[in-house]
Amino acid sequence: MKILYFYQYFTTPKGSWSTRAYEFARRWVASGDQVIVVTSVYDKSDLAPSGLIDRFVVEGIDVRVINVRLSNKHGVLARLFTFTWYALFSCWYALTFSVDVVVASSGPISVGLPGLVARWTRSRPLVFEVRDLWPEGAIQLGKLRGSLLVRAARWFERVCYLSASRVVALSDGMADDIRRRYPQVSVDVVPNSCDISLFGAASAVAAEGREGSRDRENLVVYTGSLGAMDDCAQILDAASVLKKRGRDDIKLTLIGDGSEREALELRARSSELEQVSFVGLLPKVDVVGWLWRATCALVVFKNVPVLATSSPNKLFDALAAGVPVIQNTQGWIRDLLAEHECGLTVPAGDSNELADAIERLCSDEMLRDQMSVNAGRVAEELFDRDLLAERMRRILLETVRG
């Protein structure tokens, strides 16, 4: 197959963002496919274009980079501008490249524009990949306001779903939502995946210079964006509770960056939370050692209903490293952790419950070790990257064959 993949946040493990597109595409190339990725420049990616449009070959993937720079620190208007600029430039590739199938990976929903152009002008089959429920997430988070903008965004979302040959959602929660609103749409689920080769024992041993033993510390790690939707202030609230309980031995480390980082660091200093540290952005290859030493990993979100459908990379990285997860969404992740006993769920915004869960895993070695084993098993059996890349490839093949 010749695959044209529109995704605005492409990066490799040298960057500090999701590598799903890279990992899937390089496996498709190894299977004999030709993959062209059209992307832009995210501040967490490792791409460094030299002109307005640049081209790289990354492990056989033909990567076309439109030099439009994105950051989750940007305001709403700046982000809307960059989303629109990328979508318009990408239409050139939709109009001129002869391919077998087009993948448009959202969010933002604007990435659907070049996919629709390829669908309508070149009659190319379109697979619309839903990484989050946009624009619903932006609406519930208060990022998208005004009845005209909301109506326009929802209209465009509808057009994308109904024009696609197949829709691929990254979680059962997303798929259920789409099927409820558009029962005529064919929806498959291909979640984010676990990079066991990167986060497994062999990589951790190499990164840490260990001899295979796993020396746990009372270390709690959060890896990911420090933005409004993550609401990492909940972690500082729990740290305050732990400090009052005299648990200064439990260290909390936040790895990442985002619009809320400066305020979070200021609050940690003013509250004298010495057990809390901020590391900043790290390439995925450098996150391995942190997760390998951790007692548990945190996955927290703001208490907004749509976020219960999320498929966050930090969850899959923790599972791949065999680390128990403490999280606060009330959807499919809660059900997964409960069914496979690989983590704990607490109510969003409840600092006492979050502190209790952290203390429990730091104090109960038997529970922690069993959850660690279960996490690794779930990563291998349900979310292995080879397995899910092949599932996605089968969907593309079926789409091409009609």
Q: What is the pLDDT of residues 229-263, one digit of tens each?
A: 899 999 999 999 999 999 999 999 999 998 899 99
At the topology level of CATH, where does 196-382 sit? Rossmann fold (3.40.50)
Q: How far apart are the first and last CA of the chain?
A: 13
The mean pLDDT of the chain is 91
pTM of the model: 0.90
Rounded average pLDDT over 105-117: 92
Nearest to 343 by CA among 351, 331, 328, 352: 328
Contact partners, residue 149, CB within 8 Å, separation at least 6: none
Gyration radius from the chain CA atoms: 21
pLDDT at 214: 56
Would the pLDDT of 205 be above 50? no
Rounded average pLDDT over 125-148: 87
Contact partners, residue 402, CB within 8 Å, separation at least 6: 125
Query: What is the number of alpha carbons within 13 Å of residue 149 lying toward its C-beta?
Result: 14
pLDDT at 215: 63
Rounded average pLDDT over 131-136: 88
Nearest to 304 by CA among 129, 176, 139, 152: 139
Buried b (16+ CB within 10 A) or exposed e, 264-297: bbebbeeeebebbebbebbbbbebbbbbbbbbbb
Contact partners, residue 67, CB within 8 Å, separation at least 6: 40, 41, 49, 51, 52, 53, 54
Work out the pLDDT band at 213, boundaries 50, 70, 90.
very low
pLDDT at 138: 81
Work out the pLDDT band at 163, boundaries 50, 70, 90.
very high
Q: What percent of the chain has pLDDT over 70?
A: 96
Q: What percent of the chain has pLDDT over 90?
A: 75
Distance of alpha carbon 353 from alpha carbon 347, whole angstroms: 7
Rounded average pLDDT over 175-183: 95
Q: Which residue has the higher pLDDT, 277 or 402?
A: 277
User: Of the CATH numbers 3.30.365.10, 3.30.420.270, 3.40.50.2000, 3.40.190.10, which one belongs to the domain with range 2-193+384-400?
Assistant: 3.40.50.2000
pLDDT at 204: 52
Work out the pLDDT band at 210, boundaries 50, 70, 90.
very low
Would the pLDDT of 265 be above 80? yes
Do the domains 2-193+384-400 and 196-382 sit in the same CATH topology, yes or no? yes
Would the pLDDT of 12 be above 60? yes
Q: Which two tokens stand for residue 108?
A: 């933002």
Q: Which two tokens stand for residue 239?
A: 């740290």
The domain locations on the chain are: 2-193+384-400, 196-382
Rounded average pLDDT over 328-335: 96
pLDDT at 80: 76
Rounded average pLDDT over 204-210: 48
Work out the pLDDT band at 201, boundaries 50, 70, 90.
low
Q: Which residue has the higher pLDDT, 199 or 29?
A: 29
Would the pLDDT of 206 be above 70? no
Q: Which residue has the higher pLDDT, 135 or 328?
A: 328
